[in-house]
């Protein structure tokens, strides 16, 4: 039987292997150069071994025949045991002759097979050889190996083919502590930054910024429609050169042409002012923002030109009526809080009104009684601190409606433009935080009006220095909100200063009325302003910038205020009058002669 087609299990002492079943031959094999040993040498080796006596001659012949036929010398056990061989202890004393003789019979020297000497075979024992080891002189204590750390091996159960589960060691996931700490800190930092950019502050209370007005229950009012009709009927002044100079300096044909072309607008204005059904807080004012109408710049030109034209014709009373109508219109616009632009339009018309009256009073020839009537009408149009304070609160409510829409809690019929506004969500735009910026700013503007006049507008403590308008910052969590706040609030920053200028100009014109009446009655100017009370003035107007009396110079014929710079410089005569904010000045039209020094 061929050895390559039959693979019996062979064992040699404690060693066993399986003979390969295929016909593969290694290119480095030396089987073709193997010289089988001579049978006589084999018989001689068996005869010399001590184990040959117990073997039969037939067994020896069979073994020799099998070995010579295959070209190999092998020893096979009669019984193959499935039990694993018992290995000796790894610690031995010097080998005794039986053990050394046994190893000598099992070890095959690794020499070149071409010159391999004949091997002496020992008789095959009936049972595997198990050498008896000598007793050890010393006893050794076996200590268990240290247990590996629990995190070093991960055991997972995996089902086998038979359905049983076996434990498979897995390689542990060893992550350094430094990496874990860095990952945790990075996650915490990212969460914190996301919270800063996405979290909006809670809405704060704004009850102190609610205007104290009574809701108008009138079903309807015609005032917004009449104002719109007046603005639409104005024919603009196309001559740019004429706009740069006051209307009383225009030539008469230009004045006549401009007044004649705006006859319908003058009638509509008279109809508007004679209607006492004004209702400035009615919900219909919220339907449309008439303060942004492009014709407002021509309203002042029209009324000033009308007063100058009538005065040039010698009709002083109609001229004064036109100037007082301008003051009345400015006062009514300051009462409308539906849109923040109305107060600015009112202050602009108030400046045009006082300039026109100052020019008319400088050369008037009216009697004292008629001047007293116009003085009373003009005094009722004086700027009011309480009015502007309530306006600041109303403008905050207006911004709140634009930001929050119906969520502001305001009546739906008072929404700006008559529609529900809801600002769309944008990145880096926080509603509540932006609204709190408006609340803080309008509180400061409101407090500016209630502070002492001589410290309110000082150069070191102006509203702009305390209300910070930040430029757009792309990295800020509320950058878009701050940009929106800055753009919307910037037109309101001059409100306290413009209101103080309006009060100063109004006081100067009221004093000018009293001085002209005193001049008509006494044919001379008073030595001081206190001489005007109580017949011509109930009280002397105070300078809102210095909280003192207005400066009066009879020798120069000037009446002036210290202005925004709080410095008295002797008056600044301008054309038109009261045009210098640093020192608003009106000319009396007459000066008191000083005695000649000898």
Residue 351: inside a domain, yes or no?
Answer: no
DSSP H stretches of helix in 523-591: none
CATH number assigned to the domain comprising residue 513: 3.30.700.10
pLDDT at 153: 46
For residue 28, what pLDDT is reported?
56
Whether 557 is in a domain gets the answer yes
Whether 88 shows a pLDDT value over 60: the answer reads: no
Pick from 299, 300, 277: nearest CA to 225 = 277
End position of a domain, from candidates 97, 115, 133: 115
Q: What does the pLDDT look like over 561-583, one tens digit per residue?
A: 998 888 888 888 998 999 999 99
Give residue-wise pLDDT tens across range 375-422.
Answer: 999 999 999 999 999 999 999 999 999 888 888 888 888 888 876 655
pLDDT of residue 414: 87
User: What's the pLDDT at 205?
Assistant: 86
Looking at residue 372, its pLDDT comes to 95
Residue 566 makes CB contacts below 8 A (sequence gap 6+) with: 454, 457, 458, 545, 546
Can you give the pLDDT at residue 152? 47
Q: Using CA atoms, how far apart are residues 365 and 361, in angstroms rounded to an integer?
A: 8
| pLDDT classification of 511: cutoffs 50, 70, 90 | very high
Under the banding of pLDDT at 50, 70 and 90, the label for residue 278 is: confident
Count the alpha carbons within 13 Å of 303 in the hemisphere toward its beta carbon.
32
Q: Is residue 53 part of a domain?
A: yes
Tell me the average pLDDT across 184-203.
83
* Boundary-marking domain end, from 58, 86, 115: 115
How many other CB atoms are there within 10 angstroms of residue 377's CB atom? 15
Under 8 Å between Cβ of 7 and 20: yes
Q: How many helices (H) and strands (E) does the chain have?
A: 18, 7
Alpha helices in 80-144 (DSSP H): 97-106
What is the C-alpha separation between 410 and 393, in angstroms, rounded?
Answer: 14
Say whether the peptide bond before residue 16 is cis (omega within 30 degrees of 0). Answer: no
Helix (H) or strand (E) holding 513: helix 495-522
Share of the chain above pLDDT 70, in %: 64
Residue 138, domain member (yes or no): no
For 404, the enclosing helix (H) or strand (E) is helix 385-404
Cα distances from 93 to residues 88, 96, 107, 134, 138, in angstroms, run 12, 9, 20, 8, 10
pLDDT in tens, 579-589: 999 999 999 98
Q: What pLDDT is stored for residue 93 in this prediction?
A: 47
Contacts of 76 (CB under 8 A, 6+ apart): 8, 10, 11, 124
Is a pLDDT exceeding 60 seen at residue 1?
A: no
Q: Looking at residue 455, what DSSP letter applies?
A: H
Cα 291–chain centre separation: 32
502 within some domain: yes
Inter-residue contact 120 to 49 (CB < 8 Å): yes
Judged against a pLDDT cut of 90, whether residue 559 lies above it is answered with: yes
Residue 330's closest CA among 314, 311, 350? 350
Report pLDDT digits (tens) over 34-49.
Answer: 555 555 555 555 555 5
Cβ(438)–Cβ(478) below 8 Å = no
Mean pLDDT, the chain, rounded, equals: 76
Rounded to the nearest angstrom, the gap between the alpha carbon of residue 531 and the centroid of all alpha carbons in its chain is 62
**Contacts for 309-313 with beta carbons within 8 Å, 24 or more apart?**
309/252, 309/255, 309/256, 309/259, 311/248, 311/360, 312/248, 312/252, 312/255
Residue 457, CA atoms < 13 Å, CB-side half-sphere: 24
Check whether 92 has a pLDDT greater than 50: no
- 152 forms bridges with which residues in the sheet? none
Name the pLDDT band for 206 (thresholds 50, 70, 90).
confident
**Cβ atoms of residues 485 and 437 within 8 Å:** yes
Q: Which domain holds residue 513?
A: 498-587
Domain-embedded: residue 561: yes
What is the mean predicted confidence (pLDDT) over 516-528? 92
Q: What is the DSSP letter of 425?
A: P
**Number of domains, the chain:** 2
Residues in Cβ contact with 544 at an 8 Å cutoff, skipping those fewer than 6 apart: 453, 500, 503, 504, 507, 561
Residue at which a domain ends, from 115, 148, 177: 115
DSSP-derived letter for residue 127 is: S
Cβ–Cβ contacts within 10 Å for residue 591, how many? Answer: 14
Output the CA torsion sign for 389, 392, 393, 394. positive
The predicted structure's pLDDT at residue 178: 84
Residue 162 in any domain: the answer is no
- DSSP-derived 3-state class of residue 74: coil
């Amino acid at each position: 039987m061929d050895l390559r087609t039959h693979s019996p299990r062979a064992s040699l002492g404690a060693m066993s292997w399986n003979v390969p079943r295929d016909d593969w031959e290694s290119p480095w094999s030396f089987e073709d150069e193997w010289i089988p040993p001579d049978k006589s040498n084999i018989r001689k080796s068996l005869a010399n071994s001590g184990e040959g006596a117990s073997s039969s001659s037939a067994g020896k012949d069979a073994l020799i025949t099998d070995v010579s036929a295959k070209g190999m010398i092998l020893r096979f056990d009669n019984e193959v045991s499935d039990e694993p061989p018992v290995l000796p202890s790894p610690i031995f004393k010097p080998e005794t002759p039986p053990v050394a003789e046994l190893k000598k019979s099992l070890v095959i020297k690794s020499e070149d097979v071409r010159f391999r000497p004949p091997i002496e075979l020992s008789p095959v024992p009936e049972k595997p050889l198990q050498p008896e080891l000598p007793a050890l002189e010393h006893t050794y204590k076996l200590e268990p190996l240290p247990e590996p750390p629990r995190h070093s091996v991960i055991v997972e159960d995996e089902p086998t083919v038979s359905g049983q589960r076996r434990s498979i060691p897995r390689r542990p996931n060893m992550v350094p502590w430094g990496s874990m700490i860095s990952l945790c800190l990075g996650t915490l930092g990212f969460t914190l930054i996301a919270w800063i950019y996405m979290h909006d502050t809670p809405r704060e209370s704004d009850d102190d910024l609610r205007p104290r007005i009574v809701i108008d229950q009138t079903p309807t009012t015609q005032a917004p429609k009449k104002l719109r009709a007046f603005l639409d009927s104005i024919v603009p002044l196309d001559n740019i050169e004429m706009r740069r100079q006051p209307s009383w300096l225009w030539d008469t044909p230009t004045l006549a042409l401009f007044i004649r072309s705006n006859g319908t607008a003058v009638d509509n204005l008279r109809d508007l002012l004679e209607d006492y059904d004004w209702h400035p807080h009615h919900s219909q004012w919220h339907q449309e923002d008439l303060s942004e109408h492009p014709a407002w710049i021509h309203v002042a030109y029209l009324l000033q030109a009308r007063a100058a034209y009538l005065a040039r014709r010698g009709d002083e009373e109609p001229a004064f009526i036109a100037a007082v109508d301008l003051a009345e219109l400015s006062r009514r616009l300051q009462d409308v809080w539906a849109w923040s632009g109305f107060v600015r339009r009112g202050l602009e018309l108030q400046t045009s009104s006082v300039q026109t009256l100052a020019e008319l009073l400088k050369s008037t020839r009216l009697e004292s009684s008629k001047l007293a009537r116009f003085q009373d009408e003009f005094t009722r149009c004086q700027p009011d601190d309480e009015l502007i304070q309530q306006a600041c609160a109303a403008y905050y409510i207006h911004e709140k409606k634009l930001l929050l829409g119906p969520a502001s809690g305001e009546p739906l019929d008072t929404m700006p433009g008559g529609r529900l506004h809801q600002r769309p969500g944008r990145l880096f735009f926080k509603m509540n935080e932006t609204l709190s910026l408006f609340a803080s700013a309008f509180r400061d503007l409101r407090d500016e009006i209630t502070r002492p006049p001589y410290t309110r507008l000082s150069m070191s403590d102006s509203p702009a220095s305390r209300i910070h308008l930040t430029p757009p910052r792309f990295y800020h969590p509320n950058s878009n909100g701050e940009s929106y706040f800055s753009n919307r609030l910037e037109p309101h920053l001059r409100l306290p200063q413009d209101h103080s200028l309006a009060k100063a100009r109004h006081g100067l014109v009221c004093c000018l009325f009293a001085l002209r009446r005193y001049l008509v009655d006494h044919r001379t100017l008073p030595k001081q302003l206190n001489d005007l009370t109580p017949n011509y003035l109930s009280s002397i107007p105070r300078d809102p910038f210095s909280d003192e009396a207005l400066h009066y110079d009879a020798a120069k014929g000037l009446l002036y205020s210290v202005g925004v710079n709080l410095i008295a410089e002797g008056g600044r005569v301008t054309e038109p009058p009261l045009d210098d904010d640093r020192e608003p000045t009106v000319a009396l039209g007459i000066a008191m002669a000083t005695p000649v020094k000898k």
